[in-house]
Structure 1
Amino acid sequence: MVFVFVISATFVVAQEESVSTLDTGIAVVEQMEITTQDLGIEDPGMLPTSRFYFLKDLNRTFKRVFTFNSVKKAELELDIANEQAAEIQRMEEITPERTDAIAKAVTNYQENVDKLKNRLDAMKETSQNPNVDKLMEKLTDRSIKHQQLFDELKQKFEDRLELKQQFGKMQDKINEAVAKIPEKFDNPEVFKERIKKAIEARPDGSFKELRSMEIVDRIMEKMPADRRDKLGEIKDDFMKKLEDRMGQMSEDQRKEFLRPEILEKLPGDPEVRMRIMEEMKTRVSSPDIQKEIIEAKEGILKERIEKGEIKKEAVEKLINETRDLIAKAESDLANAQSDLKQIAEKMLGIAKARIAEAEKALGDNKIGEAFGHATAASAAARSALRPESFLNRPLYIDPTIRQAIPASAPAGILPPPQTAPTTGTTTITVKCGDGICDLIEKEKGFCAIDCK
């Protein structure tokens, strides 16, 4: 594991890229880079840049021919994919200019993960078989590390759009393979524990919880909707841990921790990060932390708009994905428990209102504003799919959702009710839905009277 530290004083001019440690006023950004050793490979050996690399591929072909057990066949494909990931990581270190060879290696990895998925589909055993259980443990561990590695590679090849997109496709491929585990081999609870164990085994860092939520979120995207709940619990746990840690910081430390220019530079997907922050603002107990999260999210959005990094096509895709989430949440309402139905309906109302605003802004070619609305809509729709998550967290929310919380909720779930005007605050017409309004909500009149 390689630690990269960026250190500078807190009083430097804004043009300097500075961060500070959370306990001394000096900012530190830790980027815990995946190494080949983390992948279990001391030396990747011959690389695709070698003219003799075909011999390595030939050796892999021989191994495939002479491997007969179905579990061993799947494990072989996983091992080959892991070797290929290590080769790509090493090429980035020593020959980053050979983007042609790296692109070819990326294609080989994707093709091999397809072979892995086919092998998993062909397997008949479940994780009750010790050999299958061991394979699932290995697949989970490798997939988490591959995701982190590809996030780092996307960042390092930021100016190579096509290659960056290919790394994103690699993440999709390995997550599709991992999604086979709860589909065929594990029950949801066992799978949840596998993922949790693999993530928690990663070294601690200042942004571990945030990065972990992003990884879980991407895995959930590849799973059937009815199997996502348990992974959502992991996400909730990391959200609570992050809130608790932020609660121990001073206000200045939190602001430094949430500086948009730092969050923007972290490996990972800023768009997923913004959506998670949108979800967090409805689940943290401190109004101050809520406000700081909103400001950080808006700062990231502003930076991406200024850099021209938010494209119309990406907004259209997010809107379509959110409409699918809304449709799924609506279909789930019929079977929802009465004490959760009102929460889901409320969050659906927010999602629909914000997606309508997103489409309007997109039609006016206000790409950044459209993305902000679509991100908020996506977060609300996801909350509508998991209304029970509101019962496990202290919330500062508008009265409509507060009234929907069942009276039997455990003591301490909710903070004391906020003092607010009674007119217009207890009906479904309250729009913002969380009691804390961001700038877009205020400008567009989406705020309840009791919003901060």
Structure 2
Amino acid sequence: MSNSAKLFSFLFIFFLGLGIFLAVSAQEASPVEEAVNLDEDIQPEDLGVSEPKLLPDSPFYFLKNWARGIQNVLTFNPIRKAELRMKFANEKLMEVKKIVQKTQDPEKIKKATENYQQEVEKIKNQVEKIKEKAKENPQVESFLDKFLHQQTLHEKLLEKLETQVPSQAFEKIKEAREAHLERFQSVMLKLEDRPEKITEKLDKILEEQKGSQFKEFKNLEVLKNLEEKVPEEAKEAIRKAEEKITENLQENLEKMSPENQEKFKEYMEKISGDKERQLEIMEKIKSESSELKENLEKVKERIKEKIKEKKGEPVACAQVITYCIDPSTGECAVYPDACSTPKPCQSCLVEMSPGTGCKNLWWFDNEHKYCQQKEFCGLYMYLGLRTFETKEECETGLQK
């Protein structure tokens, strides 16, 4: 066989193997995991920068900073300087992400995070030199729009990184995220002092950002975090943006198929972020649909369980027999309480033998303040549960 034929055979096998590997890799991520990654796993291209090659743990990293310094010195326009600083911050955040993927060494992670924090501070300092507001200069407005877009992405990625770093580096990432929010709101309010414009810009930017069909929830979380940091006079502008996004999320959930509503429940299981804040957001989502209402209640229950788990509190399990498909066998199985059911539970029916005492009843409890029907079997009572023979009796009991 000639050398060219050997080369051709090698390349054919290589690319065939690569194609198979990529296909298998693509299949490994579930649709829900893909949705979570789309909303949290921010990529360099999302921030307009390239994949970092030289990282802070390299002995040659100083060359990269040296080149950045030259660029900064040769840039004279204050707005262009602010844009350059923002680009450097984007690059350094991607370096943090790459370091976290590369190593679990807390010192290396802390060093990369410190670099990022310093750059975010430099953005704020540079913006202080811009004397005009967005309404007075189109260049300032353009910078602000880009800033708002990119900083919301920073917040999403920083929350994700908090779940990926070792415990020794967690506080540093958290500190960086808190400091980032402070600088975020400071720059925003320095360049735009009209509340209605802040609302308008946040609405538009978050709506246009790429993301999954559930992206509004993550956007709400970002706004909630930002609202906590802004001064009192700016909170209303953030709240108005939250209200609109909440309405959009609620409307989208109501339009979703039952299958996608189930995916939303799983999505909520997998996303990063502060669970108490997520519960606060969930409490504001309302629905007239009994099916969606039930799904939302289940999501809230699971968030509450996670909050208790984080605090080290025992999780109360409702003693209600539930029928779900066993993921390991694919067969319908009986689960004795809410904690033992697979998440999510794919409901199923089993034929009960006579004398098991199973009965279809209407019910509500302390966590589910609306009437719904299900089959109860065995010793199903728990604190706060009330059951009724008819829907009318249940609704009467609910009003008392």
The normalised TM-score by structure 2 is: 0.65
Of 200, 212, 216, the residue aligned with 1:209 is 216
Change (3 A) 1:74 1:253: closer
Q: Partner letter of residue 305 of structure 2?
A: K
1:26-425 alignment, distance < 5 Å: 29-32=35-38, 33-93=41-101, 95-127=102-134, 128-157=136-165, 160-186=166-192, 187-250=194-257, 253-259=260-266, 262-280=267-285, 283-286=286-289, 288-306=291-309, 309-310=310-311
Deviation, 1:138, is 1.8
* Greater C-alpha radius of gyration: 2
> Residue 270 of structure 2: SS of its match in structure 1?
coil
Mapped to 2, the partners of 1:3 and 1:266 lie a distance apart of: 20
Change (3 A) 1:111 1:242: same
Would the aligned equivalents of 1:39 and 1:86 in 2 still touch at CA under 8 Å? no
Change (3 A) 1:178 1:162: same
Mapped to 1, the partners of 2:81 and 2:89 lie a distance apart of: 13
Mapped to 2, the partners of 1:121 and 1:146 lie a distance apart of: 21
Mapped to 2, the partners of 1:435 and 1:302 lie a distance apart of: 18
Q: Deviations over 1:305-328 (max 9, x none)?
A: 23xx127xxxxxxxxxxxxxxxxx
Change (3 A) 1:138 1:253: closer
Deviation, 1:273, is 1.0
Would the aligned equivalents of 1:199 and 1:212 in 2 still touch at CA under 8 Å? yes
Deviation, 1:210, is 0.9
Change (3 A) 1:288 1:64: same
Q: Partner letter of residue 280 of structure 2?
A: R
> Residue 37 of structure 2: SS of its match in structure 1?
strand
Deviation, 1:242, is 2.0
Deviation, 1:140, is 1.0
Deviation, 1:276, is 0.7
Query: When the two structures are aligned, how many residues end up with a matched partner?
Result: 302
Would the aligned equivalents of 1:71 and 1:132 in 2 still touch at CA under 8 Å? yes
Mapped to 1, the partners of 2:26 and 2:182 lie a distance apart of: 30
Partner residue, 2:3? none
Q: Deviations over 1:111-154 (max 9, x none)?
A: 22122222223332111212211221221121022122222222
Q: Deviations over 1:91-118 (max 9, x none)?
A: 334x233442221010111122122222
Deviation, 1:81, is 0.9
Mapped to 1, the partners of 2:133 and 2:171 lie a distance apart of: 34
Would the aligned equivalents of 2:99 and 2:112 in 1 still touch at CA under 8 Å? no
Mapped to 1, the partners of 2:118 and 2:174 lie a distance apart of: 14
Mapped to 1, the partners of 2:265 and 2:84 lie a distance apart of: 42
Mapped to 2, the partners of 1:263 and 1:177 lie a distance apart of: 28
Q: Deviations over 1:213-240 (max 9, x none)?
A: 1111112122112212222222222222
Mapped to 1, the partners of 2:218 and 2:157 lie a distance apart of: 12
After alignment, is 111-120 or 208-217 more displaced? 111-120
> Residue 125 of structure 1: SS of its match in structure 2?
coil
Change (3 A) 1:28 1:83: closer
Deviation, 1:274, is 1.3
Deviation, 1:250, is 5.0
Deviation, 1:254, is 2.9
> Residue 55 of structure 2: SS of its match in structure 1?
coil
> Residue 156 of structure 1: SS of its match in structure 2?
coil
Q: Partner letter of residue 59 of structure 2?
A: R
Change (3 A) 1:252 1:142: closer
Deviation, 1:284, is 3.6
- Point out where structure 1 has 5 or more consecutive residues left out of the alignment: 8-19, 22-26, 312-365, 370-431
Q: Partner letter of residue 50 of structure 1?
A: S
Q: CA RMSD in A?
A: 3.4
- Point out where structure 2 has 5 or more consecutive residues left out of the alignment: 1-24, 317-365, 372-381, 386-395
> Residue 128 of structure 2: SS of its match in structure 1?
helix
Q: Deviations over 1:419-446 (max 9, x none)?
A: xxxxxxxxxxxxx9x9769xx9959xxx
Q: Deviations over 1:348-396 (max 9, x none)?
A: xxxxxxxxxxxxxxxxxx7989xxxxxxxxxxxxxxxxxxxxxxxxxxx
Change (3 A) 1:451 1:291: farther
Partner residue, 1:328? none
Change (3 A) 1:227 1:287: farther
Would the aligned equivalents of 1:30 and 1:206 in 2 still touch at CA under 8 Å? no
Change (3 A) 1:441 1:227: farther
Q: Partner letter of residue 298 of structure 2?
A: E
